[in-house]
Amino acid sequence: MSVSTATIRPVNYSARLRQFGRLLGGGAGSVKRPIVFLIITLIISSFLSSSFLTVDNIKSLLISSSFLMVITVGEAFVIMMGMIDLGVESILAASGMIVAFLTVYQRMPAIPAVLITLAIGVLIGITVGLLVTKGRIPSFIVTLGSYWGFAGVALLVNNGSYISPFSVTPTRALGFGSMAGATLGISRLILLSFGVVILGQLLLSYTPFGTWIKSVGSNETSARVVGLNTARLKILVFVISGVLAALAGIMMTAWAQSIYPNSGTGLSLEAIAAVILGGIPFTGGRGTIVGAAIGAIIIGVVNDLIVLLGLPALWEYIFVALVLVVAGLQARGGVNVK
């Protein structure tokens, strides 16, 4: 019995991928897909390690992910406008070194030291924003420069050495270590990071600023036509990214009770991966802060699982790469890094 060739149709793999994407829920920028990815990651992790779903491990996972979540919020605002910030990990390290230097070596009270460090993050954001807008230099180039520049600052602060309460005699407490304490049994680092995420989402969803950011990311020319000051908005998102990177550096120093010049290595790329995994495309214009934060937690889960399974640290890069490829499939769009 012969089979008519007219009845044989080639498999439309593109359509199959689109169907799979619809199963994950929502369009590009939707928070539904990151939630599904998180659920899948949690299920797989619980099967691979019996220790994964313990209360202590979940607490540890959220604490270790809190720094990435905070800088991811800033990165999300930048990418939402079609730009990129590669310098957040170096700003984190430099800020941690500065706040520790002020409190340990200069014996400055904790509150002024923290405020000065956050103000430095604001100044960095303003400088980067001005170079991008007034200097007309692509954000990729400017923030690559800030990545290398502030990596050097972190090394210069204490001549390449780490800083801890034991760096001086007699020992001098950091003074802001209570930031890493607990309230009602919940780490303040977790509460702080979730607070940053909530505030970021409220800013994006319920203020004109959030609408303006999405408008510029969707179509900058049209945004200018309707009267938006696109240069000012770009500067503001880099300020947000800079101050949150500084905050993450302070948080990490409080948690570890020490800081190294190379602390936070790899967090810039992990933050970018988290943003894309969270459903924000490189073209900008859509997405959620909550989705980006979920992307950060997913990466935290991957890192935690590697530790639980006793795998070499290099596997972290392989797994994050695979996760990022999957995220790219569900957040496809032309790359437009300004």
Q: What is the pLDDT of residue 325?
A: 76
Q: What is the pLDDT of residue 31?
A: 82
Q: Where are the alpha helices (DSSP H) in 25-138?
A: 32-48, 55-80, 88-100, 110-133
Q: What is the percent of the chain with per-residue pLDDT over 90, rounded to a whole number?
A: 66
List the chain domain ranges: 29-45+56-330
Identify any residues that bridge with 259 across adjacent strands, giving them in sequence order.
163
Counting as low any pLDDT under 70, the low residues of the chain are: 1-29, 324, 326-338
Could you read off the pLDDT of 255-293 as tens digits, one per residue?
A: 999 999 999 988 999 999 999 989 898 888 889 999 999
Q: What is the pLDDT of residue 32?
A: 84
- With residues binned 3-state (H G I as helix, E B as strand, rest as coil), the percentages for the chain, rounded to 5, are 70, 0, 30
Q: What is the pLDDT of residue 5?
A: 45
Buried b (16+ CB within 10 A) or exposed e, 89-128: bbbbbbbbbbbbbbbbeeebebeebbeebbebbeebbebb
User: With contact defined as beta carbons under 8 Å apart, do 271 and 296 qualify?
Assistant: yes
Q: Which CATH class is domain 29-45+56-330?
A: mainly alpha
Could you read off the pLDDT of 44-82 as tens digits, one per residue?
A: 999 999 899 999 999 999 999 999 999 999 999 999 999
